[in-house]
Amino acid sequence: MKQNLTPGNDAISQLAGEFNKLPGIGPKSAQRITYHLLRVPEEEARLLAEALLSLKQKVHLCTTCGNVTETDPCPICCNTMRDASQICIVEQPQDILALEHTGIYHGFYHVLHGAISPTDGVGASDIRIRELLGRLENGVIKEVILATNTNLEGEQTAMYLSQLITPLGIKVTRLARGLPFGTELEYADDVTLTRAIEGRQVF
Of the candidates 58, 55, 57, 93, the one whose C-alpha atom is nearest the C-alpha of residue 76 is 93
Please give the size of the binding site for Zn ion, defined by CB under 5 A: 7
- Pair 153, 97: CB distance under 8 Å: no
Beta strands 60-61 and 68-69 are antiparallel
Q: Select the span of 7-15, 63-71, 114-122, 142-150 touching Zn ion (CB under 5 A).
A: 63-71
Query: Using H for helix, E for strand and C for coil, what is the string for 162-196?
Result: HHHHHHHCCEEEECCCCCCCCCCHHHCCHHHHHHH
Least Å distance, CB 108 to Zn ion, is 8
Of the candidate residues 62, 87, 147, 161, the single one contacting Zn ion (CB under 5 A): 62
Q: Select the span of 49-57, 59-67, 92-100, 181-189 touching Zn ion (CB under 5 A).
A: 59-67
Least Å distance, CB 110 to Zn ion, is 9
Nearer to Zn ion, 51 or 81 (CB): 81
- Pair 96, 62: CB distance under 8 Å: no
Of the candidate residues 5, 30, 65, 90, the single one contacting Zn ion (CB under 5 A): 65
Of the candidate residues 74, 145, 146, 188, the single one contacting Zn ion (CB under 5 A): 74
Least Å distance, CB 188 to Zn ion, is 22
Contacts with Zn ion, 77-106, as mask; x by CB under 5 A: x-----------------------------
Residue 108 interacting with Zn ion (CB under 5 A)? no
Nearer to Zn ion, 46 or 60 (CB): 60
Q: Is 60 helix (H, G, I), strand (E, B) or coil?
A: strand
112 Cβ neighbours under 8 A, 6+ residues apart: 66, 89, 90, 91, 127, 128, 129, 132, 148, 157
Handedness of CA 151, 89, 127, 74 (dihedral sign): positive
Least Å distance, CB 92 to Zn ion, is 14
- Pair 34, 16: CB distance under 8 Å: yes
Least Å distance, CB 67 to Zn ion, is 5
**Applying CB under 5 A, which residues contact Zn ion?**
62, 64-65, 67, 73-74, 77
